[in-house]
Structure formats: structure tokens, C-alpha cells
Structure 1
């Protein structure tokens, strides 16, 4: 049974989408600006109206309260939400210096004023805040979009470790084909509201009617996730 399953999911101009993501697997979605990648993630997170169904370990999103669903199927946006003055107030259970170091932040980062953090710092902190909650599925909307090369490599490594250690399912939106090739064996393009699986080398599969889901086991070794 896949960790995350989408059955005929539709939202606005997107769909129907059928996709399975296994526990411990990372699947990447690319597409042109405005193609609806973020809208698709928001629908999966039950933040926007949608038809069809999303399931977590066989349990339908429609059978769960929205907050409970999002604790298990967590959306990490390019710019997280901040509601208090200091970073530490957003980490009620704390965050160890080791975790902060893994994304290139100092131990004192929890004492920072949110307003004085750079966009890239806020992005990494928002990711850590989500990981501290232990979700089973991560919906990643350009999680390294505001980062330099070194910070990008750090975040990719942290997400790889989390995927392996927690058997988490990752659905990763990226504009970068090189990143997509690094992090995922299965990669899709979102075109005209449909998911089209990419072949090796980045070309879209010839059969555009091919179902997006697949019965492949998760990759747990090697460079590609």
C-alpha cells in the first residue's frame, strides 16, 4: 500500500491526477511557472477545494479533520508562516543545535528575531519546524528555491536522511531538472493540468495517457532517492 495515494484528484484547472508515492520514496514534479504545481500541493494538503481523493496509508483525507491530516501530510512552502517575534517561539518542543547545524544555522538561531532573518534562513527554519513534527508525508514546494549551492546541498541531505530514517514519502516540486535527477527516480512534468512521467534524460514519456501511479518499491540506497 502506498503511503500517499491520489485518486482522480482535481483542483481548478488541474487533473484528474492519479499518483502513488511509496513510503521511503521521493517523487519530483516540475513544470512551467503558473502550471499549477503549488496548487496541486495545496489541494493534497487539503488547503484548497478539490474533487477526487487523497489517501494516507489507505485512510481518506475526507475522513479526517484538516489539521489532523496536515500534521501527517505536511506542506512545506517556499515562505513559511510566522506568527511570533522570535524564531524559538515557533519551536515549542525546541530544536537541537545539531539539527540547526545540519542546515547551516548557528545554535543561537532560536533567539533570532524573525523579522531580521533572511529569506533563505526563514526557509530553512520553516523546514526544520515541520520536520520536528514527524510527518509521514512531506509536500515540498521549492524547498531550496531561495538557497545558495551549499545550503541547497545541506537541505537535500537533511531531507534524504529524514526520508530514510522515517520511511517518509516525499513529493518534491522543483524548477531545476538537475535537482530533480538528484533526488528522485520518478519524475513528472505538470503540463496542461496533467502529470506526464519523464523518461531517463528528462524527456516526457511518449504515452501521455500513462497512469501517474506505479507499483515500484521505494529506493533506499544509492544517490537517487
Structure 2
């Protein structure tokens, strides 16, 4: 290995400051200009830790134990190195892009700052902002530029963050789960954009992803991490095939329906003061069933999830949770939302144990000892060990944060669970396990589910019915199997067609 490569990592080891097993052990790699490296592995395997190390960053409580990193000859861990690297030589788009955007600043101000940091004169900044928005398929108009991060969808926030990352024309672009929260159409438009920027600008890309289609179609080579160690490297198809097997098959038996249903009618809603994002939306979810909400990014899915969970008051229309005498609109113990942005949903100062025991004591009345025991049981149910209890969100991987957020929702003992892209930050095996868990909750415990997702495999695995949104309106609905096999509306056909037309076998040509 030589420092002449744009990216050179040698023997990198990261671990807890006070001792303990490393989260990344003896990692080495090089990446040439204009090449794309895919990084794959289970949630918690060290993927994000490796990606952040390229910027000279380690999560709280971790430290650099051994090894070195060079990006275009600069050591980001050297004094002043991170300042020289970040936002100039390297830019990063994380799993929770909205968390990197100041909630008080408007989208236009974020992008204007980014292009000026990239050396664009003030007078030329609007033209550069317009160019960047066009490249990531976002509108350049006053209404959109004046929105704040919480007033755009999760997919739109991700594309805003990507536009800001491209503003400084970096040598290395690090993308951590870039397709999480994007529908298949936008995901593959993003792939085309990245191919263009790699080919025309000789930019190197490190792509952390759970999506084998992305790794197979975009990356020149891939590496697999397991328990912090690189265990395979080579052609993406070979590396992916060497991974763990598929999860268990779905058990289709259903228990008696014991939960309350959900009914919404005539919903008009907007997260800000602009035009309504939802327009006359109606849906009914029968007790103990699962209804999936599909649609392209920006269709209004997250807004609908927040309205159904009682977190956003609609401008018009009604929402009712139908369990007489038990569920009332807005009652936290009965209806829980698992948000797409798990990092933003969890208190950064709270340990996982505190996040779980608080609803167990406040909403279910458990004493401290019983709450602590139940917190451990909830973590085990979502596939996490007791070692996570003492950790804060910043010390967890994206997948671990998502599972803690799900465990926290379950701690309230909900009868209705609204899940917004809950598998977007998870590897395929863990995602299948979470979908199976949701299906088990529905069958065994009678929980009613609303599943907002771009993951058609998860929808097919779990949903009884499907509702398709476009531009805030319901354009198609019906039994899940019927809608997925014989879609009628052009938007549904596009969503299903793109999924059918793409797969891990579609590799990137050399």
C-alpha cells in the first residue's frame, strides 16, 4: 500500500477507550481514483465505524488504538488533519441525513453555505444550488428552498444532504446507507448520478450498504465485515454470496384478532405552513392486520404516519383508533410510532436502558426491578444483547439504534404500531428478522400495524393490504398480493416494475 492512492488504510483498530473488544480490528484497504468500494456486513459489524474513520472521526467512547488512515496523503487523525479533510477532500452522508441539517435553517441556506464552502463566489451561488438540486431530482423553487428539514420527507432530506456533500467537489464521497428511505426509482436515479460523478470527475466513493443490488450494480469491488474484521474482499457478487444465509420463512398462522382497528377519513395535513401534503386521504386498518403504505419519496407517507400516530394534527379529517374504552386519539400507550430517523427519535443523552425503562414505568406502571428485567427481554426480542443497555445512541450503529427505537415502542404495550421505514438501516438478515417480529406481534399479540416502506419484500412478507400514495393522494389500494402482482395505477406499476427489473445480478460493467 502507498500513500499515493486517494484512500489508504493500514491496520486500523478502533475500540472502547477503557478497554474491551475492538469495534474495528486490523482493517486495511486502498481505493484508487474513480473507483467505488462497497462495504457490506450485518448491523453492528463495524461498517459505519470504518466509514467515519475516513474523516478522522470515532464515536463517543471509542478511540484509535492502532493503524493509520491517509486520504489524498493527509492523515485525518493528525493534529489539524480532520479540519483539512472534512468538507474538502472528503464529504460524508450518514444514515440519518436529517440529523446533519440544522433544524432551524432553511434548505436554501444549507445549500448556499455548502457551495460557498466549496469556493463558489457569492454571486454564483444560486446557479450552483440550482444545478445541485437538479442533479438530485429536487425542485429549485422558492417554496422548497424556504422549507426547513422537518418539513421535507426523509427521502428529500437525504437528497438535500447529498447535494450539500457534492457542493465542494470532494476527492472522496462516503455514503452510509444512501438508499435508506428512497423508493426504488429514486435509488436507481441516484445510482446513475453517482456513476456519472465517478466517471466524469474521477471521484472515489465508499458505499456502505445493506442493499445487494446497489453493491452489485455500482461498486467495482466490495469487502465484508464481521465483528469488526474484514473477512472477504473481491467482486461484489462473490463477497455478497459469501455472507450469512436468509432468515426463516414466514409463519402464516394468525391468532385471533384482539387489537383495536384504525380508521382515517378526509385527511388534509401539512407539516409546516405551506400547501397540504396530504389531500383527502382515507384508509381503514382492520384489527390485528397490517396495511402497508407505499409511494415515491415526497408522496406524504411520513406525514401520514405522524398524523395516524397523533403527533401531527390534521388540518381537516378524522383519525379514530377503534377499541372502545381503551384507545383514545393521542394516547401514547396505545399508539406508538417507530420513526424513520431513529437517531433523531432517541434522546442522545439517554442510555438504551433509560429509553426503555421510562415507558415501562410511566405507561405500564412496572417497578424499577421489573422494568429493568423487561428492558433486557425487549432487547433480546429485537435481536440485541444486554451489553447495549449502557450505551447511548451515538455509540450504537444505525441498525442498533433502529432496533432500540422499536423496543422502546414495544415497551409501551401498544395496540397500534405505526412503523416508518423501520428496515431502511438494517442488513437483509436483520431486516427479515424485524419483519418476522412485527408479523409475530400481529399474529400472537393482536397488534395492528401500519407499515410505511419502500421495501417491497417486507411488504409482501407482512402486509395484508396496500395503500399507494402519490402527491399526497391515495391512488391505489387493495389486497397486498393483488396490488403487488397486478398493479393498476402508473405510480404503482413503476414502483413494482423497478423492483422486478433490478436485482443483485445486475452488475456494473468494468
Specify the TM-score bucket, using the shorter chain as the normaliser. Answer: 0.7 to 0.9
Deviation of 1:98 (Å): 4.4
DSSP-derived class of the 1:145 partner: coil
Does residue 1:9 correspond to 2:267, yes or no?
yes
The whole-number CA distance in structure 2 between the counterparts of 1:13 and 1:125 is 30
The whole-number CA distance in structure 1 between the counterparts of 2:440 and 2:409 is 15
The whole-number CA distance in structure 2 between the counterparts of 1:158 and 1:2 is 19
Tell me which of 32, 37, 41 is aligned to 2:296.
Answer: 32
Contact 1:2–1:21, Cα closer than 8 Å, also in 2 = no
CA pair 146-205 structure 1, distance change in 2 beyond 3 A = same
Corresponding residue for residue 19 of structure 1? 283
Corresponding residue for residue 185 of structure 1? 464
Contact 1:79–1:119, Cα closer than 8 Å, also in 2 = no
DSSP-derived class of the 1:201 partner: helix
Does residue 1:197 correspond to 2:477, yes or no?
yes
Corresponding residue for residue 172 of structure 2? none
**Aligned pairs for 1:89-108 within 5 A:** 89-92=354-357, 93-94=371-372, 95-108=374-387
Does residue 1:132 correspond to 2:411, yes or no?
yes
The whole-number CA distance in structure 2 between the counterparts of 1:97 and 1:153 is 21
Contact 1:188–1:197, Cα closer than 8 Å, also in 2 = yes
Return the structure number with greater relative CO, CA threshold 8 A, min gap 6.
Answer: 1
Contact 1:21–1:27, Cα closer than 8 Å, also in 2 = yes
Uncovered stretches (5+) of structure 2, i.e. residues with no partner? 1-258, 270-275, 358-370, 490-510
Cα shift readout 1:121-176 (whole Å, capped 9, x = no counterpart): 01000101111111111111001110001110111121111112221110101102
Corresponding residue for residue 76 of structure 1? 338
Corresponding residue for residue 218 of structure 1? none
Structure 1 moving runs of 4+ over 4 Å: none
Deviation of 1:106 (Å): 1.4
Tell me which of 103, 116, 122 is aligned to 2:395.
Answer: 116
Uncovered stretches (5+) of structure 1, i.e. residues with no partner? 207-225
Corresponding residue for residue 351 of structure 2? 86
DSSP-derived class of the 1:28 partner: strand
Alignment size in residue pairs: 202
Contact 1:90–1:129, Cα closer than 8 Å, also in 2 = yes
Using structure 1 for the length normalisation, give the TM-score.
Answer: 0.80
CA pair 13-114 structure 1, distance change in 2 beyond 3 A = closer
Contact 2:300–2:469, Cα closer than 8 Å, also in 1 = yes
Tell me which of 148, 156, 164 is aligned to 2:435.
Answer: 156
Does residue 1:165 correspond to 2:430, yes or no?
no
Deviation of 1:82 (Å): 2.3
Larger fraction in helix: 2
Deviation of 1:20 (Å): 1.0
The whole-number CA distance in structure 1 between the counterparts of 2:350 and 2:328 is 32
The whole-number CA distance in structure 1 between the counterparts of 2:384 and 2:322 is 34
CA pair 178-82 structure 1, distance change in 2 beyond 3 A = closer
Cα shift readout 1:179-221 (whole Å, capped 9, x = no counterpart): 2111112112111322211534344446xxxxxxxxxxxxxxx
The whole-number CA distance in structure 2 between the counterparts of 1:18 and 1:35 is 15
Corresponding residue for residue 47 of structure 1? 311
- Root mean square deviation, CA, Å: 2.4
CA pair 204-194 structure 1, distance change in 2 beyond 3 A = farther
Contact 1:102–1:154, Cα closer than 8 Å, also in 2 = no
Deviation of 1:118 (Å): 1.1
Tell me which of 315, 321, 330 is aligned to 1:56.
Answer: 321
Task: Please tell me whether Structure 1 or Structure 2 has the larger radius of gyration of its CA atoms.
Answer: 2
Using structure 2 for the length normalisation, give the TM-score.
Answer: 0.37
The whole-number CA distance in structure 2 between the counterparts of 1:124 and 1:108 is 14
The whole-number CA distance in structure 2 between the counterparts of 1:74 and 1:20 is 17
Deviation of 1:10 (Å): 1.6
CA pair 88-183 structure 1, distance change in 2 beyond 3 A = same
